[in-house]
Structure 1
Amino acid sequence: MNAEYEENDKNSVLNFYRERIRLRQDNPYSHILVMAYERVLDDLGILTFYNFQNQNAE
């Protein structure tokens, strides 16, 4: 991956994570400690969790 290429691609991994960070920083989301989302393609699903705490989440 090239950061310059990713910068210009709205669907890039870089911009995906930038959007997650923006959501975390913007109100009313600033109080969220853990965020989760699910991506599904055909019959395959991936559930992803983001921990914004300074400690492990259980």
Structure 2
Amino acid sequence: MSEKQKEFLISIGIDPNDELDVIEDKVGDYLTLNCLDENYNPNEEGLMCESILDYIGQL
């Protein structure tokens, strides 16, 4: 995980040292609740959430 992704996690209240399944759940919830417009398109934070979820999915 990049430093930028870790900094983003910290900024939204998620510990980047948590288990990956915990991070995945919390990031997914944050994305759904805070980062999508009325057409379900992600904003800038949403794109960061998606990049974190993609990273976790590749492991």
Would you call these one fold, judging by a TM-score over 0.5? no
Larger RCO (CA within 8 A; separation ≥ 6)? 2
Q: TM bucket by the smaller chain?
A: 0.3 to 0.5
The structure in which a higher percent of residues are helix is 2
Compute the TM-score of the two structures, normalised by the length of structure 1. Answer: 0.35
Please identify which structure carries the higher strand content.
1
Normalised by the length of structure 2, the TM-score is: 0.35
